[in-house]
Structure 1
Amino acid sequence: MSISPRVAMVAGETSGDLLAGLLIDGMQAHWPQLQSCGIGGPQMQRRGFEAWWPSEKLAVHGYSMEVLRRLRELLRIRKQLRERLLRDRPDVFIGVDAPDFNLGLEADLRAAGIKTVHFVCPSIWAWRADRVEKIRRSADHVLCIFPFEPELLAHHGIAATYVGHPLAGVIPMLPDRAAARAQLGLQDSDEVLAILPGSRSSEIQYIAQPFFEAAALVLKARPAIKLIVPAVPALRDRIVQIAHHCGLGGAVQIIAGQSHTVLAACDATLIASGTATLEAALFKRPMVIGYHMHPWSWWLMRRRQLQPWVGLPNILCREFVVPELIQDAATPQALCAAALDWLDARRSNPQKIAALERRFTALHESLQRNTPQLAADAIQKILAA
């Protein structure tokens, strides 16, 4: 291994880009002259990452039409990337989440003698238990973000290290609500509902309209409420169109990015299932988790689901601490009613809000580690082996 290793990485979509950016921070602390390249987004590129393709190319979801429409392009990208990495071999390849894309690539690279690391254990404890064998073939080591995962992987002969969840180290234990509101031009007395309809095009297609229709109903019940949407920049125009279609017009503030600022500022959030729900929990915010996907994708996912929960906060707390309205249950009326329950609780039942904040604080503490350093230490040991 060279003194400053050459690291190839693949991170898909916004959440993977964020996690990979934090990992690069840790590696650069070890190796200031680190070279990194592959597929990545703006967070990675700000840290000197050479993106051969943007991470948004991998932002697909589901088991059927959403993926099939892009399958040829994704397979072409993976083939070209594999050929390039086999020709110009990195010291280590790190696949960040995106298991459908990364695990197959890792298996090919590992078979060719390139060391491989997978960052973020696939959710074999929630669904897709059949992925265990694929992980064993693909990864020399797995960096886990939840504390129970290394023991689970060890039972299957897979080496793993718990490094904590990177977001738990980035998000403050006590978010500064006043500062966030000032940054967004909100008053301390404002009642604020955040709307996070997802970071993928397919999510916007299926869940944005029910969310905005629910928000319109909330607005009727509470005319003074402030509605704010932190939109993925590439999807902002489409989100604006859907909001106008739902009759919100100028009643909703749609900004590019700044999801952490919005979550710090809000009283409650309507939020699509995914990493963002964990971010909302780390900000200690009441939420209503909603999700909708292509019916065929939903049928396949339900068959593989191993737990009664879908949202990460509920999975990690092992109970329904926040409501989940999934697929046919995600109607505008139901989403509105659940959001109003949280908003009402802030006025009439503060004990309910305080209890949720205590649960989320305990969750935050369990996930808080020096993730960039622990991950970089594990990678260093793999390179030295």
Structure 2
Amino acid sequence: QVVIPAANPACHDALAPMVAAAGFAQSPLLTDGKAREAMVAADVVLLASGTATLEAMLAKRAMVVGYKVAPLTYRIVKAFGMLKVERYALPNVLAGSDVAPELMQDDCTPENLAAAVLNQFQHPEITGALQPRYRELHESLRQDASARAADAIAGLLRSGGFPS
């Protein structure tokens, strides 16, 4: 079952006729919001690059990440050598490797996205293999957060920054 969580009622109203006209063998479930619930229940999540990729990683979900910017913007950024990153999705950036497929710009087509999602869906061993890596990344985030919080508190104690 494909689930499409609409961000708001206006998105739901815009998506409903498109979903109806798409001719799916089994009609997708279009929900009002509930993106988090849909993500946690999913076998594979298709999402745009951003903080949602971190949420999917923390939920230990297989994902496919797509991202496009305006073609003119992309050409300008490429022409001036301003694009210096190899990875965009936060889990991939944190891991320093490709733990989630990323389809960017010209590669981000409906056909490529569908193929990547189907590959993840048809090969559950991919998700199984990612679980330990996702746990490691999650733990490193938790440790870093604790260390940063401790450093901030120590700094406040040293500076006398706590209110009395």
Matched, 1:323 2:112: no
State how far apart, in whole Å, the 1-side matches of 2:75 and 2:66 are. Answer: 17
From the superposition, tell whether residues 337 and 298 of structure 1 become closer, same or farther in structure 2 (CA, over 3 Å). Answer: same
**Would you say the 8 A contact 2:48–2:67 is kept in 1?**
yes
Q: CA deviation at 1:239?
A: 2.7
Aligned AA (2:119): D
Matched, 1:244 2:28: no
From the superposition, tell whether residues 331 and 237 of structure 1 become closer, same or farther in structure 2 (CA, over 3 Å). Answer: same
TM-score (norm 1): 0.36
Residue 255 of structure 1 is matched in structure 2 by 31
Residue 305 of structure 1 is matched in structure 2 by 83
From the superposition, tell whether residues 236 and 249 of structure 1 become closer, same or farther in structure 2 (CA, over 3 Å). Answer: farther
State how far apart, in whole Å, the 2-side matches of 1:249 and 1:255 are. Answer: 18
State how far apart, in whole Å, the 1-side matches of 2:99 and 2:38 are. Answer: 21
Decide which of 362, 365, 384 is 2:136's aligned counterpart: 362
**Would you say the 8 A contact 1:273–1:310 is kept in 2?**
yes
Decide which of 96, 109, 116 is 1:338's aligned counterpart: 116
SS of 2:123's partner is helix
SS of 2:60's partner is coil
Q: CA deviation at 1:328?
A: 1.3
State how far apart, in whole Å, the 2-side matches of 1:301 and 1:263 are. Answer: 32
Q: CA deviation at 1:235?
A: 2.6
**Would you say the 8 A contact 1:243–1:249 is kept in 2?**
no
From the superposition, tell whether residues 260 and 301 of structure 1 become closer, same or farther in structure 2 (CA, over 3 Å). Answer: farther
1:62-141 matches, cutoff 5 A: none
SS of 1:306's partner is coil
From the superposition, tell whether residues 292 and 242 of structure 1 become closer, same or farther in structure 2 (CA, over 3 Å). Answer: farther
Residue 52 of structure 2 is matched in structure 1 by 276
Give aligned pairs, total.
153
**Would you say the 8 A contact 2:20–2:27 is kept in 1?**
no
RMSD between aligned alpha carbons? 2.9
Residue 229 of structure 1 is matched in structure 2 by 4
State how far apart, in whole Å, the 2-side matches of 1:232 and 1:341 are. Answer: 26
From the superposition, tell whether residues 301 and 235 of structure 1 become closer, same or farther in structure 2 (CA, over 3 Å). Answer: farther
Amino-acid identity (%): 34
State how far apart, in whole Å, the 2-side matches of 1:239 and 1:300 are. Answer: 32
SS of 1:304's partner is coil
Q: List alignment gaps of at least 5 residues for structure 2.
A: none
State how far apart, in whole Å, the 1-side matches of 2:11 and 2:73 are. Answer: 22
